[in-house]
């Protein structure tokens, strides 16, 4: 075979293969996410194992996936849904082998609500054209500037002193942005008051908040005497950040321990998850907690709670400045630690409020959280403008903080339930009501349907409109419509006729032209009468309002009152003409602004 022919055949085959691949359908896996409690959950955290998804779809592509949801609670309902919501998602490699391990996203759930979530995957080019760019809402950074590893959501930031102190510090945020890179900037003093935020916590010799330590013979032992410390950032994205700390050869009061500490920060949350694994045996006592202020009382969950917690709220914000050691008046900080460990119990020393627990199968986990009453107080709005009005979700009181702690306990005790509905991955189907073949309709059939709906609407609203005086308040007159209900097909009630008021009247006049049926004329005159007399108060929409009602009605009936109304509407447009701009002002006489809609009103002239 001629080499040129062979090459051409190979190129043709390659092009054909790519064309076939490009036309392969996007496949979907359906899961059901359920809120098990009778309270709403906003941004509920969901993480799904990639291995679980591959049991349904062996060809699942984590790197080319998009997550969407509807309010459907079953596959049948979901099949009929026409509009879905995209959920920001991320894929994480948790063991550093370069392969995806989990898919994470957050979802809003009403009380006891179940929502079908669709995970769609396929050709990378097609998926990434469909998928939006998601805002980065969490981050992690290691910096010598702040002496260790930091992690953050837009609400709050934490950093661990990655040395003998092994304590966790807090950066409060007046502005809900990611700020660790700012704190790491050379010569930036993150202890000083700032529109962004600052270091607000005094750790001292305590463990800070949520750090891990041991209790040996009644004495707190920090992770200080360690042969080797390592840190790594496993994930950082729009949904969550995961960091890992590893301590090799920790001398914990004479016991040598190898410990891994994994911290997860979800977007929008005040706290972080802290999970540990260790080789010390399940009888070894670990502790976590937060710095104590002896003058501030401790709130607790009570002995019978499934998720135990301790919390404080009050004057525990350090003063501004690198050398500050005193607390600031007029500002409050909430601190809390939560754990589901069944044998957990409160312990204290001179510097810490603590909770002790043991490992279970070599593992333990807890949740630490903090809230500054100044958090979010300097949000940017409308470009670079700023506001010191706290948002509605701000935590500014002890009552709000304790409620947030209790809600976090509920999430830990009863996490969202996840069920994979799909037996196999399949191409997303069009809604069922669009799959059956439709016969062609004629214009006459369309007009008949229109007449049917016009008569139903007019007969329903005629008694209401007749019950109102003709010279009533135009902003309160009933019986005019602008928006319809997408589910019921009914017109939504409104007060006043707005800029669309004459479209309904014009429709009635058009049906009168076509049918010569007097009922359409009667209805057109009834509704049109509610517009007459308001011509000289109208804005540029006088063109709409009086062309389709008065002018059209005059052309058909030669009614002098309709002619006068149409002329007054045209006079109003003339009054709005500004000779300086050579434009009809949109909103008032002598106005120097106009919008393109004005061009559609010129037909009345």
Q: What is the pLDDT of residues 251-303, one digit of tens each?
A: 999 999 999 999 999 999 999 999 999 999 889 999 999 999 989 999 999 88
- Of residues 300 and 593, the one with the higher pLDDT is 300
| pLDDT value of position 81 | 84
CB 323 within 8 A of CB 178: no
Alpha helices in 414-470 (DSSP H): 443-466
Q: Which of 474, 588, 462, 571 is nearest to 532 (CA)?
A: 474
* Angular region, 457: left φ>0, alpha ψ -120 to 50, beta rest: alpha
468 CB-near residues (< 8 Å, 6+ apart)? 477, 478, 479, 530
Mean pLDDT confidence for 511-528? 92
Q: Which of 116, 111, 89, 110 is nearest to 100 (CA)?
A: 89
> Following DSSP, what letter does each residue of 265-295 receive, concatenated?
EETT-SEEEEEEEESS-TTSEEEEEEE--TT
- Residue with the two structure tokens 């994994």: 262
Mean pLDDT confidence for 112-136? 94
| pLDDT value of position 315 | 96
CB 159 within 8 A of CB 169: yes
Strand partners, 76: none
pLDDT of 13 above 70: no
Mean pLDDT confidence for 588-595? 86
| Percent with pLDDT over 90 in the chain | 67
Q: Which two tokens stand for residue 151?
A: 């992690």
pLDDT of 8 above 90: no
- Residue with the two structure tokens 């391990």: 101
Mean pLDDT confidence for 121-145? 94
- From-to residues of CATH 1.50.10.10 in the chain: 446-604
| pLDDT value of position 20 | 44
Q: Which two tokens stand for residue 318?
A: 């350090």
- Residue with the two structure tokens 């593992």: 363
Q: Which of 224, 244, 225 is nearest to 234 (CA)?
A: 244
| pLDDT value of position 21 | 47
| pLDDT value of position 436 | 67
| pLDDT value of position 161 | 97
Q: What is the DSSP letter of 242?
A: E
How much is the pTM? 0.73
pLDDT of 231 above 90: yes
| pLDDT value of position 484 | 81
**Cβ neighbour number for residue 211 with a 10 Å cutoff:** 28
Q: How far apart are CA 212 and CA 7, in angstroms?
A: 65
| pLDDT value of position 296 | 96
Q: Which of 250, 15, 290 is nearest to 168 (CA)?
A: 290
pLDDT of 120 above 60: yes
Count of helices and strands (H, E) across the chain? 12, 31
pLDDT of 526 above 80: yes
Q: How far apart are CA 87 and CA 67, in angstroms?
A: 6
Which span out of 120-134, 241-255, 343-357 was modeled with the highest average pLDDT? 241-255
pLDDT of 137 above 70: yes
- Of residues 55 and 467, the one with the higher pLDDT is 55
pLDDT of 313 above 70: yes
The values of phi and psi at residue 517, to 5°, are -85, 125
| pLDDT value of position 428 | 73
Which span out of 2-6, 163-167, 499-503, 580-584 was modeled with the highest average pLDDT? 163-167
Q: Which two tokens stand for residue 250?
A: 């920790």
**Cβ neighbour number for residue 267 with a 10 Å cutoff:** 24
Alpha helices in 428-586 (DSSP H): 443-466, 501-515, 518-529, 542-546, 552-557, 560-576
Q: Which two tokens stand for residue 90?
A: 């991320």
pLDDT of 211 above 90: yes
Q: How far apart are CA 197 and CA 183, in angstroms?
A: 9
Q: Looking at 205-214, 305-314, 534-543, which range is the least confident one?
A: 534-543
| Percent with pLDDT over 70 in the chain | 92
Instruction: Express each pLDDT in 529-587 by its tens digit.
Output: 888 888 888 888 888 899 999 999 999 999 999 999 999 999 999 999 999 888 898 88
pLDDT of 431 above 70: no
CATH fold, domain 25-134+421-427, is Immunoglobulin-like (2.60.40)
| pLDDT value of position 307 | 96
Strand partners, 115: 33
| pLDDT value of position 11 | 39
> Following DSSP, what letter does each residue of 530-547 receive, concatenated?
TTTT-GGG--TTHHHHHI
Q: What b/e sequence results for 214-228 when a residue is b if at least 16 CB atoms lie within 10 Å of its CB, and e otherwise? A: bbeeeebbbbeebee
Q: Taking all residues of the chain, what is their mean pLDDT, rounded to a whole number?
A: 90
- From-to residues of CATH 2.70.98 in the chain: 138-396
Q: How far apart are CA 179 and CA 157, in angstroms?
A: 8
- Of residues 201 and 4, the one with the higher pLDDT is 201
| pLDDT value of position 494 | 83
- Residue with the two structure tokens 């009168």: 512
| pLDDT value of position 27 | 95
pLDDT of 34 above 90: yes
Mean pLDDT confidence for 403-422? 96
Q: How far apart are CA 319 and CA 601, in angstroms?
A: 63
Please determine, looking at this structure, whether the domain spanning 446-604 carries the CATH number 1.50.10.10.
yes
Q: How far apart are CA 331 and CA 327, in angstroms?
A: 9
Kindly tell me the burial class for residue 258, based on how many C-beta atoms sit within 10 Å of its own C-beta (0-12, 13-18, 19 or more): middle
Q: What is the DSSP letter of 360?
A: B
CB 231 within 8 A of CB 244: yes
| pLDDT value of position 273 | 98
Q: How far apart are CA 529 and CA 532, in angstroms?
A: 5
Mean pLDDT confidence for 232-249? 98
Instruction: Express each pLDDT in 392-409 by its tens digit.
Output: 788 999 999 999 999 999
Strand partners, 170: 158
pLDDT of 12 above 60: no
Q: Looking at 45-59, 79-93, 149-163, 457-471, which range is the least confident one?
A: 457-471
Sign of dihedral through CA atoms 475, 480, 483, 489? positive
Q: How far apart are CA 409 and CA 406, in angstroms?
A: 5
Contacts made by residues 313-320, CB under 8 angstroms, sequence distance 24+? 313/398, 313/401, 313/402, 314/398, 316/201, 316/202, 316/291, 317/172, 317/200, 317/201, 317/372, 318/199, 318/200, 318/201, 318/202, 320/191, 320/192, 320/193, 320/198
| pLDDT value of position 19 | 44
- From-to residues of CATH 2.60.40.1180 in the chain: 25-134+421-427
**Domain at 138-396: CATH code:** 2.70.98
């Amino acid at each position: 075979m001629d080499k040129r022919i062979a090459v051409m055949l190979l190129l043709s085959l390659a092009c054909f293969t790519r064309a076939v691949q490009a036309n392969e359908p996007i496949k979907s896996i359906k899961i059901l996410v359920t809120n098990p409690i009778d309270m709403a959950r906003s941004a509920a955290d969901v993480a799904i194992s990639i291995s679980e998804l591959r049991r349904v779809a062996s060809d699942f592509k984590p790197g080319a996936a998009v997550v969407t949801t509807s309010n459907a609670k079953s596959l049948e309902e979901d099949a009929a849904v026409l509009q879905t919501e995209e959920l920001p998602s991320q894929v994480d490699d948790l063991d550093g082998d370069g392969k995806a391990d989990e898919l994470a996203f957050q979802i809003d759930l009403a009380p006891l609500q179940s929502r079908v979530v669709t995970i769609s995957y396929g050709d990378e080019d097609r998926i990434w054209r469909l998928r939006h760019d998601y805002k980065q809402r969490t981050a992690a950074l290691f910096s010598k500037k702040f002496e260790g590893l930091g992690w953050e959501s837009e609400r709050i930031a934490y950093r661990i002193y990655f040395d003998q102190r092994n304590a966790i510090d807090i950066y409060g945020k007046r502005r809900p942005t990611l700020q660790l890179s700012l704190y790491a900037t050379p010569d930036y003093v993150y202890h000083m008051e700032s529109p962004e935020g600052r270091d607000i916590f005094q750790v001292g010799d305590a463990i800070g908040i949520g750090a891990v330590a041991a209790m040996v013979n009644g004495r707190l032992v920090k992770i200080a005497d360690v042969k080797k410390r390592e840190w790594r950032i496993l994930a950082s994205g729009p949904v969550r950040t995961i960091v890992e700390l590893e301590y090799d050869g920790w001398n914990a009061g004479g016991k040598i321990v190898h410990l891994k500490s994994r911290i997860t920060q979800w977007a929008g949350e005040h706290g972080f998850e802290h999970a540990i694994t260790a080789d010390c045996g399940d009888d070894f006592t670990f502790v976590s907690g937060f710095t104590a202020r002896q003058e501030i009382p401790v709130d607790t969950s009570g002995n019978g709670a499934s998720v135990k917690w301790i919390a404080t709220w009050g004057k525990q914000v350090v003063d501004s400045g690198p050398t500050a050691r005193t607390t600031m008046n007029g500002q409050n900080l909430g601190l809390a630690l939560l754990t589901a460990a069944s044998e957990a119990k409160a312990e204290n020393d001179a510097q810490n409020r603590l909770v002790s627990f043991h490992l279970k199968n070599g593992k333990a986990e807890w949740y630490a959280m903090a809230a500054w009453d100044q958090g979010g107080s300097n949000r940017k709005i409308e470009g670079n403008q700023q506001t010191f009005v706290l948002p509605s979700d701000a935590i500014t009181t002890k009552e709000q903080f304790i409620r947030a702690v209790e809600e976090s306990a509920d999430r830990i005790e009863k996490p969202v339930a996840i069920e994979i509905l799909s037996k196999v991955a399949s191409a997303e189907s069009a809604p069922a009501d669009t799959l059956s073949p439709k016969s062609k309709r004629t214009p006459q059939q369309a007009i008949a349907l229109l007449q049917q709906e016009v008569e139903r609407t007019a007969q329903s609203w005629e008694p209401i409109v007749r019950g109102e005086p003709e010279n009533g308040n135009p902003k309160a007159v009933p019986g005019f419509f602008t928006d319809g209900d997408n589910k019921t097909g009914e017109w939504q009630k409104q007060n006043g006729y707005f800029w669309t008021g004459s479209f309904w009247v014009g429709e009635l006049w058009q049906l009168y032209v076509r049918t010569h049926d007097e009922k359409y004329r009667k209805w057109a005159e009834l509704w049109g009468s509610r517009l007459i007399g308001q011509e000289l108060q109208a804005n540029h929409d006088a063109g709409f309002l009086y062309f389709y009602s008065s002018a059209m009605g005059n052309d058909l009936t030669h009614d002098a009152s309709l002619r006068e109304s149409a002329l007054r509407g045209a006079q109003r447009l003339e009054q709005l003409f500004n000779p300086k701009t050579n434009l009809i002002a949109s909103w008032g006489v002598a106005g120097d602004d106009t919008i393109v809609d004005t061009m559609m009103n010129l037909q009345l002239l």
